[in-house]
Structure formats: structure tokens, C-alpha cells
């Protein structure tokens, strides 16, 4: 591939992937005065209130602040975002319960439960209103070649773009990561997470509930009109068995697995399952190509942090690129390298912590069972552990 473009046509940034992370990155960088193109393989579906997306996120406080700065949050919150004010985490083997309360932090809420489809739809619409963003959709990044000054990007449609910086926000199986020759470490957990909306006998109390079972964690996340969204992580075979059950038997097993903490689970929507894996890119930066979101890090959903980490990549990147642009510096210079080092270390710590929690709690061997009974109690009292929880909650 060769650059046949003249200097006028050179973009500042091309973003591959318009999921929550890619769209937010495009918006944040355009707001920083950069010329951006975003390439997305699939046209985002229009969100409709009457057909809720089964994939929901517990969005931390700093993530909604970032979206507010992009003028996207008020529309999202008005459409459907349910505040959660408390977290309760306990282990099936007994011991203490970890409690986390917005009041104790002097906050109105710890975060919001929001649908992926709603976020993608509203961010995509916001990108369409931005004069600094050119959208290429449906189209996909096919190949690229980078040199000292920029990157030539080839799309599936045959279009070519020349840019100073290429961002891969194209998800866990990132083509950008593969073409940049960036390796990754990690593994499939051999688990799937079943997600669905349910109704319970007792109110959810605006609380995120999570019970650790030897098979994996089960979370109930509070949503509008009294429903909860569940994320039930299980070994493959167990997930397959539960997905095949009729509603009555599924609800009975779910009530039992949740120890009837909110009484009987009385109704359930359709169910879907996602395979669970851990992936950490060896680097987030290779020359003029940077990775963010799931392209750089895929973590276990037990702490509800995947998209939150991705949005932290975006916030820090927008700051670094805004400063580089204002100073008239190369976008792929020292600030970008500092961004990559900082985010690599933050993401690696988070991925290892969630992995360690998963290994300790999703386990029925006697020693961890004895240990973990005390761990949540210790975490409840220890200032360091509570500081880590504050960090995860983004407050
Ligand atoms: C069961 C489950 C529960 C979860 N719960 C939470 C939670 O509570 N909180 C939380 O923070 N996270 C959660 N996560 C993690 C969260 O889902 C991910 O971290 C997040 O969706 C990643 O967003 P992304 O924008 O990086 O990638 P994606 O959403 O995967 O978007 C990538 C985009 O790139 C596009 N694309 C791919 N290839 C190309 C190409 N070659 N050219 C152009 N476009 C391309 C795709 O079409 C897609 O639109 C959960 C995950 C699972 C599985």
C-alpha cells in the first residue's frame, strides 16, 4: 500500500471500531480539535425502549462524567440509566459480607446500570453531529502500513485513509492488534456468563448484589421498573444445561443459586450467554498504532470493569492528545508513550486482580474456601481494600 494522498488529506486520527470505547474516543478527540475518521463494520442498531438490550454495564462514576463531558450523558440518562447506590458481595461458603455504600462516600450513587445498545446508539448519533468526524460505515479496516510520519489505512470498500495516528478499538479479536504484530497473553476461562432480565419477589433496593459460588459469581444488577439484570458466570457445560431449561426450572435454580436473597425470582426474559476470557495485549502502542478498550484488555465481568477500563483509556488519551496538539507536537510523541505506559500498568493491575479474585472464589478446594470466608470481612475493614473499591467505582 502506498500513500497517494497529499498533505491536506492527512487525518489526525482514524478509529477502527465504533463500540462504546471507539465512539467515545472519536468524540473526545474531535472535541480536542483533531480531525477524526471512524470506521465501523456493522451499522449500529437504533435503540428502542421496548426491546431492552440484554447486555448491560455497571458504569462507574468517572465513566458517566466522561460521557457528560462529551455531551452524551444527559440523553443517555434521560432514556434509561438506573443509579445504583450500594454493593453487597458475599460468599456461598459463609463468612462476612462486603458492603459498599454511596452515602459513606458522600455520593448520590456509586454508578449507573446502562444498556450497551443505548450507549452505542447515542454515541454514534453524537458522532454524526460532529463536523470533525467522518464516519465510514458499514466498512471495515482491512490493512495498514505505517511509516515515520503516518499510517496508510485500507478499508474493505477499497477506500484509503492517511492518518497520523491509528486507534484500534475493534474489540477482543482486534484486527488492528493482529496487523500491528502485537501479541497478547491470557486464556479462555472455560466459562460462559448467562445474562437476562428477571423480576424478584422483593425490591432490589438500588443495590448491585453478587454471590460467589464455587462455579462462578452470580450478580443481580438493579434496573428501572423494579427488574434486575443478571450476570451468572458458569462452567460451559453447566451454562449449556441452564440455557436449555424451561423458564420455571431456570427460575427455581436461579432462586436457589442466589440463596433467595431477594425472595423468589418470579419472571425472566430471554437468556443469552457470552464466553469469558482474559486477554491482555503485550503493548498498547506500536509506533503510530494504539489499542484501547477490549482490543487492549478483556477482563472477567465479576467486577463489572471492562468498559470502565476502556473509558479510562479514552479519558487519558484525550488529555494527552489535546495537550500534544495544543503544543504543536507530534501526536505519536512522548505524551502518547506516557499514556501507553500508564494505561498498560493500570489495566494489568486490574486484570490480575480480577483474575486472582476469580481463582480464589470460583473454587471449592478446602483452603481457599476457609480463606475466602474471612477475605470479604477483611476487605470490608481494610482501608487499602476500600481504597481499591473506591478506585473501581471511579469515585
Ligand atoms: C457478560 C458480560 C458482562 C459485562 N459486564 C460489564 C459491566 O458491568 N461493566 C463493564 O464495564 N464492562 C462489562 N463487560 C465488558 C464489556 O462488555 C466490554 O469491555 C466492552 O463492551 C468493550 O467495548 P469495546 O468498545 O472496547 O469493544 P466492542 O464492544 O467489542 O466494540 C468493537 C467494535 O469494533 C467493530 N469492529 C471489529 N472489527 C472491525 C474492523 N476490522 N473494522 C471496523 N470495525 C470493526 C465491531 O463491529 C464493534 O462495533 C461485560 C462483558 C461481558 C461478556
pLDDT at res. 302: 82
- Using the predicted structure, report yes or no on whether residue 283 has a pLDDT greater than 60: yes
Cα gap 197→200, rounded to integer Å: 10
Task: For ligand 1, atom 37, name the residue with the nearest CA.
Answer: 170
How many CA atoms are closer than 13 Å to the CA of 204, on its beta-carbon side?
30
121 lines ligand 1 (CB under 6 A): no
Nine-digit cell at 337?
508513550
Task: For ligand 1, atom 2, name the residue with the nearest CA.
Answer: 301
Q: What is the pLDDT of residues 213-226, one digit of tens each?
A: 999 999 999 999 89
Least confident of 17-31, 70-84, 248-262, 347-361: 347-361
CA of residue 101 to ligand 1 center, whole Å: 28
351 lines ligand 1 (CB under 6 A): no
CA of residue 307 to ligand 1 center, whole Å: 7
Q: What is the pLDDT of residues 84-121, one digit of tens each?
A: 999 998 988 887 788 889 998 889 999 999 999 999 99
CA of residue 19 to ligand 1 center, whole Å: 6
Instruction: Tell me which of 372 and 89 has the higher pLDDT.
Output: 89
Task: For ligand 1, atom 50, name the residue with the nearest CA.
Answer: 301
* pLDDT > 70 in the chain, percent: 89
Least confident of 79-93, 175-189, 346-360: 346-360
Please say whether the beta carbons of 375 and 97 come within 8 A: no
pLDDT at res. 166: 98
Task: For ligand 1, atom 52, name the residue with the nearest CA.
Answer: 301
Give CA 147 to chain center in angstroms: 31
Please say whether the beta carbons of 28 and 70 come within 8 A: yes
Please say whether the beta carbons of 174 and 291 come within 8 A: yes
Q: Strand, helix or coil at 269?
A: coil
* Neighbour count for residue 133 (Cβ, 10 Å): 22
- Rounded to two decimals, what is the model's pTM? 0.93
Task: For ligand 1, atom 15, name the residue with the nearest CA.
Answer: 306
> What is the mean pLDDT of the segment spanning 342-356?
89
- Using the predicted structure, report yes or no on whether residue 167 has a pLDDT greater than 90: yes
pLDDT at res. 1: 45
Q: What is the pLDDT of residues 237-275, one digit of tens each?
A: 999 999 999 999 999 999 999 999 999 999 999 999 999
Please say whether the beta carbons of 108 and 137 come within 8 A: no
pLDDT at res. 104: 86
CA of residue 293 to ligand 1 center, whole Å: 7
* Among 220, 209, 238, 217, residue whose Cα is nearest residue 355: 217
> What is the mean pLDDT of the segment spanning 306-335?
97
90-394-339-24 Cα dihedral, nearest 10 degrees: 110
- Using the predicted structure, report yes or no on whether residue 203 has a pLDDT greater than 70: yes
pLDDT at res. 100: 86
Amino acid at each position: 500500500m502506498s500513500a497517494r494522498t497529499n498533505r491536506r488529506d492527512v487525518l489526525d486520527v482514524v478509529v477502527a471500531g465504533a463500540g462504546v470505547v471507539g465512539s467515545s474516543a472519536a468524540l473526545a478527540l474531535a472535541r480536542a480539535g483533531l480531525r477524526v475518521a471512524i470506521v465501523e463494520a456493522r451499522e449500529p442498531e437504533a435503540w428502542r425502549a421496548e426491546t431492552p438490550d440484554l447486555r448491560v454495564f455497571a458504569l462507574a462514576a468517572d465513566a458517566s462524567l466522561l460521557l457528560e463531558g462529551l455531551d452524551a450523558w444527559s440523553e443517555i440518562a434521560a432514556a434509561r440509566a438506573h443509579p445504583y447506590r450500594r454493593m453487597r458481595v458475599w460468599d456461598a461458603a459463609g463468612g462476612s459480607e462486603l458492603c459498599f455504600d454511596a452515602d459513606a462516600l458522600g455520593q448520590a450513587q456509586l454508578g449507573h446500570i446502562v444498556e450497551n445498545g443505548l450507549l452505542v446508539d447515542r454515541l454514534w448519533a453524537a458522532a454524526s453531529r460532529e463536523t470533525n468526524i467522518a464516519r465510514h460505515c458499514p466498512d471495515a479496516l482491512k490493512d495498514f502500513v505505517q511509516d515515520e510520519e503516518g499510517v496508510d489505512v485500507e478499508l474493505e470498500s477499497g477506500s484509503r485513509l492517511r492518518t497520523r495516528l491509528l486507534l484500534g478499538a475493534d474489540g477482543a479479536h482486534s484486527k488492528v492488534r493482529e496487523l500491528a504484530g502485537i501479541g497478547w497473553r491470557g486464556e479462555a476461562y472455560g466459562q460462559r456468563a448467562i445474562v437476562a432480565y428477571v423480576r424478584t419477589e422483593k425490591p432490589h433496593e438500588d443495590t448491585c448484589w453478587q454471590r460467589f459460588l464455587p462455579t462462578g459469581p452470580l450478580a443481580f444488577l438493579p434496573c428501572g421498573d423494579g427488574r434486575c439484570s443478571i450476570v451468572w458466570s458458569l462452567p460451559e457445560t453447566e451454562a449449556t444445561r441452564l440455557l436449555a431449561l424451561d423458564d420455571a426450572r431456570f427460575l427455581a435454580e436461579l432462586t436457589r443459586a442466589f440463596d433467595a436473597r431477594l425472595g423468589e425470582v418470579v419472571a425472566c426474559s430471554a437468556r443469552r450467554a457470552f464466553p469469558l476470557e482474559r486477554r491482555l495485549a503485550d503493548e498498547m502502542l506500536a509506533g503510530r498504532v494504539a489499542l484501547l478498550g477490549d482490543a487492549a484488555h478483556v477482563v472477567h465481568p465479576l467486577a463489572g470493569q471492562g468498559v470502565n477500563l476502556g473509558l479510562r483509556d479514552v479519558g487519558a488519551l484525550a488529555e494527552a492528545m489535546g495537550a500534544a496538539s495544543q503544543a504543536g507536537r507530534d501526536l505519536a510523541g512522548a505524551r502518547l508513550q506516557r499514556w501507553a505506559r500508564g494505561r498498560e500498568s493500570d489495566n494489568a493491575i486490574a486484570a490480575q486482580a480480577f483474575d486472582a479474585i476469580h481463582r480464589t472464589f470460583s473454587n471449592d478446594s478446602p483452603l481457599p474456601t476457609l480463606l475466602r470466608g474471612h477475605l470479604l470481612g477483611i476487605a470490608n475493614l481494610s482501608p487499602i481494600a476500600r481504597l481499591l473499591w473506591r478506585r473501581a467505582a471511579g469515585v
